[in-house]
Amino acid sequence: MNTNDKVQDSMFANPVSTRKIHIFDTTLRDGEQAPGASLNPEEKIIIARQLAKLGVDTIEPGFPISSPGEFTAVQTISRELQNVEICGFARAVKQDIDSALKATEDASRRRLHMFLSSSDIHLDFQLRKSRQQVVQLAREMIAYAKQFIERIEFSPMDATRTGMEFLYEVVEAVIEEGATIINIPDTVGYALPEEYGQLFRNVQQHVRGGKSVEYSAHCHNDLGLAVANSLAAVQAGATHVEVSVNGIGERAGNTSLEELVMAIETKGPALNVGTNIQLEQLYATSQLVSHIMHIPLAVNKPVVGRNAFQHEAGIHQDGLLKNRSTYEIMDPEQLGIPRHMIVLGKHSGRHAIKHRAMELGVALTEDQLEDVYTKFKQKADGQKTVTDAELIEMVGKTVDRAIDRYEITDFQVITGFKRSRVASVTVADRHSGTERTYSAIGEGPVEAVINGIKQAMPVEIKFENLELHSMGNEEKAFGEATVTIAAGASRYRGTGINQDVIQAVVEAFMAAANQAVRMLEKAQADKQKQHHAG
């Protein structure tokens, strides 16, 4: 039994009192409406496969009527992903409904999601229809769709700014015509949690047939309340929550999938609810969406942000090294997040430095630690963080030997317009005392230099991820690079800081590569010892 199985078992230990919350993912529809987040059909399919692997219950792949490419993407996803419900999105227009039904007709399970504005401000300035016309249109379109599909979700758009009595009237009308799921959207992120939860209770209590249908919550994050509002809806009886990966979406975005799921996971016993999400896939899904949509995550983004499980304060670092639960309410490794909880900066203490040196393959004596700590504090006072390469250099001076086997002594990149970049890289092997120069090409200068360095490494290395952050906003600002590599079955991470961004990446890559080499050499040495002992 894996960790996630145990978590799910604990969440559903009392099946009578625990409700399942259906996770409805709209990353590919509402999420794609974020400026700059447009996806082509192939990218949509890649993300949809990962969403299915993540365990979402429903995928809303797009708006089929909007373009031929959108229709094709929805149709392809419907045909391929047979273990997840596919939702077709449509306005209250026959052509939209026909397109959504056609695009999803090959899905093993599907629903139609129809929306129509209900607030006076939308009716007056957007639809230019009366309330009576809206109710009649809603009735006609639900009745039309009901001829072809059983499972219909209806959304009175801008519900949280709609008069209560009119909202009751619209919802009652669509239920009478056959709608099976009522979504109450906070379209502009206007509601407070208490208001939003009460809205669900009111609809269920005052609408004829209100207790015969399912309820869904769809919240936007304009006031930063999307997750809180969604949880309020869950507590008020909603069994479906519409989310997007990384909270991507129009304006400030939608309810964040990973934040909602982990709130439920962490507070499940109090909420008496659970989900089918495979927690170990959360980080991989977040990274995939961020990379394909070219939208970086805020460093302090809950659950999946760079700083979500990193600590610089010495008191926190000391507590974490003794017991993770002292300062963390979630286990990052359970979410598929690589464990890098210690960030070395001026607030770090001796325990953190000793721990990081050990991770880098060096065990320090108490006297050596004191010497490194003194050097570290002098360095840390002058900059925000101390990189792995800088720490290794301090450790090497203290123990009087080169810790990193390989060192870049020089590199040069020739760039030009509409041509491959050419790099010349000189790498020194400090163990053998030799130095060699390698040449390589790449589509960009970083790729060219990295391709050159790889030739010097005794282990095959895959460049997996690069994060770049600006440390300042002037001409002399520094770039901070974090590089993740894979070597064999293991991953290694290095950091570099330099005014030259390419050099910062090179430093980070070399820090990670030297870690991989040290682990390889250690494994080989251990194997030889076992052989001689045998």
Please state the pTM of the whole predicted model: 0.79
pLDDT above 70: residue 426: yes
Strands (E) across 234-313 are located at 240-243, 273-274
Helices (H) and strands (E) in the chain, counts: 17, 16
Report CA 475 to chain centroid distance, whole Å.
32
For residue 54, the model assigns a pLDDT of: 98
Pick the most confident of 166-170, 362-366, 372-376, 386-390. Answer: 166-170
pLDDT bucket at 341, cuts 50 / 70 / 90: low
For residue 311, the model assigns a pLDDT of: 55
CA–CA distance, 176 with 198 (Å, rounded to integer): 23
**418 secondary structure, DSSP code:** T
For residue 293, the model assigns a pLDDT of: 94
What structural domains does the chain harbor?
A: 21-30+42-293 (3.20.20.70), 314-399 (1.10.238), 406-533 (3.30.160.270)
Do the beta carbons of residue 498 and residue 527 sit within 8 Å? no
Cβ within 8 Å of residue 142, ≥6 positions away: 114, 152, 154, 173, 174, 177, 178, 179
CA–CA distance, 207 with 200 (Å, rounded to integer): 11
Q: What is the 3-state secondary structure (H, E, C) of 333-364?
A: HHHCCCCCCECCECCCCHHHHHHHHHHCCCCC
- Tens of pLDDT, residue by residue over 105-139, are 999 999 999 999 999 999 999 888 999 999 999 99
pLDDT above 90: residue 276: yes
CA–CA distance, 498 with 511 (Å, rounded to integer): 14
Q: Which two tokens stand for residue 343?
A: 């960030």
- Tens of pLDDT, residue by residue over 186-224, are 999 999 999 999 999 999 999 999 999 999 999 999 999
CA–CA distance, 504 with 508 (Å, rounded to integer): 6
pLDDT above 50: residue 56: yes
- Phi-psi category of 77—alpha, beta or left, where left has phi over 0 and alpha has psi -120 to 50? alpha
pLDDT above 50: residue 183: yes
- Tens of pLDDT, residue by residue over 237-247, are 999 999 999 99
Of the listed ranges 62-66, 300-304, 376-380, the one predicted with least confidence:
376-380
Helices 350-359 and 314-322 cross at an angle (nearest 10°) of 60
Exposure b/e, 155-169, CB count within 10 A at least 16 = b: bbbbbbbbeeebbbb
Mean pLDDT (the chain, rounded) = 88
Residues pairing with 427 in the sheet? 408, 436
- The C-alpha R_g of the chain, in whole angstroms, comes to 28
Q: What are the phi and psi torsion angles at 508 (to 5°)?
A: -65, -45
CA–CA distance, 172 with 154 (Å, rounded to integer): 11
Cβ within 8 Å of residue 416, ≥6 positions away: none
